[in-house]
Chain A
Amino acid sequence: MTTTKQPLSHLDWLESEAIYILREVAGQCSNPVLLFSGGKDSLCILRLAEKAFRPGKFPFPLMHIDTGHNYQEVLDFRDQRAAELGERLIVRSVEDSMKRGTVVLKSPDEPRNKHQSVTLLEAIEEFGFDCCIGGARRDEEKARAKERIMSFRDEFGQWDPKNQRPELWNLYNARSHKGENIRAFPISNWTEMDVWQYIERENLGLPSIYFSHKRDIIMRGGAMMPANVPLANGEVINQPKAGEEVINMQVRFRTVGDITCTAPVLSDADNVSKIVIETATTTITERGATRLDDQTSDASMEQRKKEGYF
């Protein structure tokens, strides 16, 4: 067997595939949008979009569905990044859906990740988006392992695992009728490790909460919860209840999400190369360590996806 050519490195291959997927969205869809939270996965996608479309503008706006439970530094980072890129950022808020009465909370401080679906669907309708580009990865969760690169959602935003289009070669089918839409996942084939290696190679900036820092923590339901977090609207959430002790710990976040259900991990990793090493040696999965809302049942992610979650 003679090898005539040097294959691409795995990061180059993944990058090239993601650029290809982004360009397919641009080529096939008439009104796509890129979901951008300021988190590490969506920051990778922004770099990929630069590589896909510069020197032109992105052929889509950026959109964040804000739960209202986000760290201020992540929101600031989000705004700063969009401004640096000179791209349009749309923000739609779960709290607006609450005011409209389309999101009804059972308790005032419950996690709002799942309610993002409602606000997202409202935004899709408002702008007439036919495709939402997201940063989901197949390695995150078993309901994602069978997800398509171009995932079809019906008029109610629902994911029907039995009614997905076969996806062969790199011939992606992003067609949709009015009202339906496609969720496109350019980094489907990336793992958490690939994401960190890409951040390291591309020297991408990240919100500071990804790096090791001192933080007040309370232990709640066996998980570390950040205590007394100020929100953009002036409220302070995760206040200790009677009997809960506040401990100052050295932590970082592996994933950013709703403050009430995203736990940090103990870590001394204060730069990207230390995080790469930590990721290589960790014994807990990303969602296992940090996403309390995925642990409520064996199928909780699958359930949320069926309801329109990305």
Chain B
Amino acid sequence: MTNTTHNDSLLRFMTCGSVDDGKSTLIGRLLYDTKTILADTLTQISNTSKKRGMEAVDLSLLTDGLQAEREQGITIDVAYRYFSTGTRKYIIADAPGHEQYTRNMVTAASTANLAIILIDARRGVLTQTRRHSYLAHLVGIPHIVVAVNKMDLVNYDQAVYDKICADYAAFAAEIGLAAARDIRFIPMSALNGDMLVDRLENMPWYTGETLIEMLEKAPAAHTEQSEAFRFPVQFVCRPHASDDPELHDFRGFMGRIESGEIAVGDAVTVLPNGYQSKVKAIQLGTDQLQSASTEQSVTLLLEDEIDTSRGDMIVKSAEAIEPVKQVEAFVCWLSETPLSTARTYIIRHTTRESKAKVGTISYKVDVNTLEQQATSDLKMNDIARISFKLAQPLMIDSYKNNRATGAFIIIDESTNNTVGAGMIV
């Protein structure tokens, strides 16, 4: 099943659940059934399985972590894994599921376009299911697959599955998830590989898609609605080549199109200064393009000589935005050092940075009950609605409308650590 073609698409997804839900087994199964696991790796984990006294090969060992994690018996971090089906390449963000790892889930969710939320069929919708669903929703993952796992342990009973689906649907409606997201349900046994890649004969009552069919059909990012053109300038290319008259005045604005499309001749505005010009050329390597769209890294040449540098944003003049010096956002705190309302932080938004100070903390969200609580501080894994005052203007969209221009990170200048993640309201 390994892919040898060049023209397949790519899907990034995440898995939410704890080891007890069979998350590692699910990932191991996907890798195994898509023939991603090669013989030497399989031999290695089969030896480890035997050493640990297990009869069958434990596929969850495929995602066994670092020595540092094994020694401490914890999962520290998000791991990234890869497989391909021949028609699509997949990047899995595998995040530990416990409450104290909210920050890891948010990290994994930030790049995912689909989330698999695992539920143990014996235990049904739990607090952690709610937490995972809320976070997937908060971080704007458009497609949710609710995987009711361990169906083999409830005799493949349809009534159990139906009850869990109904419970989940009720909860999803309550938090606004059902209205905003595409939610699908699937019964499975990751251990036996039932309904992942293969459809075994245990659940004839389920006629929906297998997991891999759902993954194959899920829309890739940025393909579902039209978006405004946003081009944060990363780097300005000025070769100053005195021996080449053509390059003497070359001024290329390099960056990745975060959303939307652009074509030669389009009227553009460079923010925050508001200079207007037209697109003279679009280059990708040595190729001259007539147009370019989301996620392409290109170089834009403009008709006019405009003083533009890293951190500026090129937009279509018809879709210009007003630079702001204050933002309101949901912030997930990532650092062991709590947020200080007295300190000045750095906010990095697209390729731009600004010093920032906390304005007000409206409330904190309990990720288990989803209750809003008044708070004056923010500790690691907390999520709160906060406003910031900015030293420099930023060109923002709401996160709901644009996951690239609606997101920022908070950096502690003294350590240079990334201490917070913000989603603009």
Residue ranges of A at the interface with B (Cβ–Cβ < 8 Å): 1-17, 19-20, 23-24, 26-27, 50-57, 59, 138-139, 142-143, 145-146, 161-162, 164-171, 173, 175-177, 188-189, 191, 193-194, 197, 200-201, 276-277, 279-285, 288-289, 298-299, 302-303
Contacts and interface: CB of A to CB of B under 8 A. Distances in A.
Contacts of A171: 348-350, 407-409
- Of B182, B256, B408, most buried by chain A (CB within 10 Å of CB) is B256
B79 A145 contact: yes
A84 B297 CA distance: 24
A293 B81 CA distance: 23
A8 B10 contact: yes
A56 B247 CA distance: 9
A1 B219 contact: yes
21 contacts: A3-B223, A5-B222, A5-B223, A7-B9, A8-B295, A11-B6, A16-B296, A54-B286, A56-B238, A56-B239, A146-B78, A146-B79, A161-B77, A168-B418, A169-B404, A170-B111, A171-B350, A171-B409, A173-B348, A189-B91, A288-B41
A7 B220 contact: yes
B39 A4 contact: no
Contacts, number: 207
Nearest to A298: B67
A27 B348 CA distance: 13
Contact of A173 (B91, B223, B239, B409): B409
A7 B40 contact: no
A55 B104 CA distance: 40
B6 A201 contact: yes
Contact of A197 (B6, B225, B334): B6
Interface residues on B, range: 35 or more
B66 A142 contact: yes
B310 interface: yes
B418 A146 contact: no
Contact of A161 (B6, B76, B225, B348): B76
Nearest to A13: B10
A12 B6 CA distance: 9
B234 A27 contact: yes
A280 B4 contact: yes
A276 B4 CA distance: 7
B226 interface: yes
A193 to B, nearest CB: 7
A54 B80 contact: no
A218 B40 CA distance: 22
A70 to B, nearest CB: 26
A23 B66 contact: no
A166 B418 contact: yes
* Shortest Cβ-Cβ A-B pairs, 7 listed: A7-B220, A288-B40, A299-B67, A19-B297, A51-B285, A10-B89, A175-B416
B304 interface: no
Given A4-B226, A176-B416, A189-B91, A143 B66 contact: yes
B247 A173 contact: no
Nearest to B346: A175
A8 B297 contact: no
Interface string B235-273: 101110100000100101011100000000000000000
Interface string B389-425: 0000000000000011001110100001110010000
A30 to B, nearest CB: 13
Contacts of B403: 169
A277 B4 CA distance: 7
A7 B296 CA distance: 10
Contacts of B255: 20, 23
A23 B416 contact: no
Given A7-B295, A9-B10, A51-B284, 11 more contacts: A5-B223, A7-B221, A8-B9, A9-B6, A13-B295, A26-B235, A161-B77, A168-B110, A168-B418, A281-B2, A283-B40
Contact of B237 (A56, A188, A276): A56
B221 to A, nearest CB: 7
B77 A164 contact: yes
Interface string B54-82: 00000000001111110000001111111
Contacts of B162: none
B80 A10 contact: no
Contact of A299 (B66, B76, B107): B66
Interface string B351-365: 100000000000000
Interface in B143-193: 182
A254 to B, nearest CB: 12
- Of A56, A167, A288, most buried by chain B (CB within 10 Å of CB) is A56
A55 B250 contact: yes
B416 A177 contact: yes
A284 B43 CA distance: 10
Interface string B16-56: 00000000000000000000001111000000000000000
B62 to A, nearest CB: 9
Contacts of A170: 111, 256, 404
